[in-house]
A = this chain, B = another copy of it.
C-alpha cells in the first residue's frame, strides 16, 4: 500500500480571473483521493510561504468555500513575484524548500504559475532527487500573457481576451456614436509585455455586423509611426472614427518601450504603463483628432464577472489533471491544453515535460499578424475565437459578485528558526 503523503499548492506571479479555479480543481480532486493525498497545504503568498514555513491548511475550509474558488478571481492564498535564484547561486533556498516539505510530509508539489515558476518547479524536482527526498513536482500553467510553450493556451488568457474583446466592442460603439462632434479616436492599452496575444483579442471586437475599424499595436511589430498615423487617418476618413488597441509592450524601432517607466519589478522587468496616453497624444498632435484613452491594467486580468467559460473549464481541468498526474506517479511535468480542432472546438488535457517549458516564451506566430502589421489574420481568429466562448457568471448578492474570502488558517510550524527571504 502506498504511503499517504501531503500536498503543497502554491500560486505564483500575476494573478488571473481563473487562477483560483485551478486551485479549486486541485483541492476538490485531492479531497476525492484522501487514501493517497493527506492534507492539501497552500503556501501563503506562494513560494514565500513555503520558504518561511507559512503554510495554510486548506482542510479547514468547508467544501462550499473551496467550490467558491471556482468563481473568485485573484489568488486566494496570496501570490508573489519572487523568482528563486539558480541552484548554483542559492542552493540554500532549494534545500530549505525540501526541509519544509520533509517537516510536513509533503510529497506532492503543485505550482501554479508562468514560465518562472515552471523553472522553480523543475529545480525543486531535480534537487529532491539529489537530496534523496522524493517529491513529485507538477506545474499548472497560468498566465494572462499566453506565452507558455507546448500548451495550446494558458488559463487566464481566455478571460482577459474576452474582457478585452468585449470592452473594445463596447467602447467602439461609444466612440462611433460621438465621432461627428467629439472623440474620433479611442485608444485602449492592454497587457502583454513581450507577446501581443491580448491586443490580438481586441481585434475580435470587429466582425461583419459592425465593421469596427481597429488598429492594433503588437510587441512583435516594431512601431512605425508614419504607417500607424496613416492607418488611423484612413479609418477616421472612411468610418468616422478609429479604435486603437495597444500592447503595453509595443516598442520603438530602437527597442525602447513606447512608454517605459523608470521602475522595475522584482524579476527585474521594466514596469510599464502609459503607452495609451502617448499614442493618443501623438494622434492629436499629428492628426488633430480628439481622443479618449483607457488603461485597463488590473481590471482586465481580474474581471471574473466576464470570464470565458472555456477558460474557467480549462483552468479547473488543469488543476484536476495535475492531481491525477501526481496520483499516476508523474514528476517534473506540466498539465497542458491540447487542441484537437478549431471548429467545433475540441480540446483535451495533455502532459508536457517541465524541461521543455521552463523559461521559454511563446510569441505570436507571424502568420497570426496581418500583412500591414496592425491586425490579425483569419488563422489567428480561428485560434482565438474558441478561447472566449461562453459566459460563466459568478453569483451576485446586493448587486455585486459574491467572491469568496478564505479563512487561510496557518499550519503550526515544525521547524525552528526563521528563514530570511
Contacts and interface: CB of A to CB of B under 8 A. Distances in A.
Interface of A: 11, 14-15, 17, 45, 48, 72-76, 78-82, 162, 165-167, 169-171, 173-178, 180-183, 186, 188, 204-205, 207, 209-210, 263, 265-266, 271, 273-274, 276-277, 284, 290, 292-299, 301-306, 308, 385, 388-391, 393, 396, 398-401, 403, 405
Q: How many copies does the complex hold?
A: 2
A146 to B, nearest CB: 16
A210 B78 CA distance: 14
Contacts of A299: 167, 170-171, 188, 294, 296, 299
Contacts of A82: 181
Contact of A399 (B292, B302, B308): B308
A73 B174 contact: yes
Given A181-B80, A273-B293, A277-B274, A400 B302 contact: no
Contacts of A390: 399
B297 A178 contact: no
A175 B45 contact: no
A173 B292 contact: no
Given A170-B73, A399-B388, A177 B15 contact: yes
Contacts of A209: 405
21 contacts: A15-B174, A73-B170, A75-B177, A75-B178, A167-B299, A167-B302, A169-B400, A169-B401, A170-B298, A170-B299, A182-B265, A186-B298, A273-B293, A277-B277, A292-B298, A294-B297, A294-B298, A295-B295, A385-B399, A389-B398, A390-B399
Given A78-B176, A293-B295, 19 more contacts: A11-B177, A17-B170, A48-B180, A48-B181, A73-B170, A75-B178, A82-B181, A162-B399, A165-B400, A170-B305, A170-B403, A171-B302, A174-B301, A186-B298, A273-B292, A276-B295, A296-B296, A299-B299, A391-B393
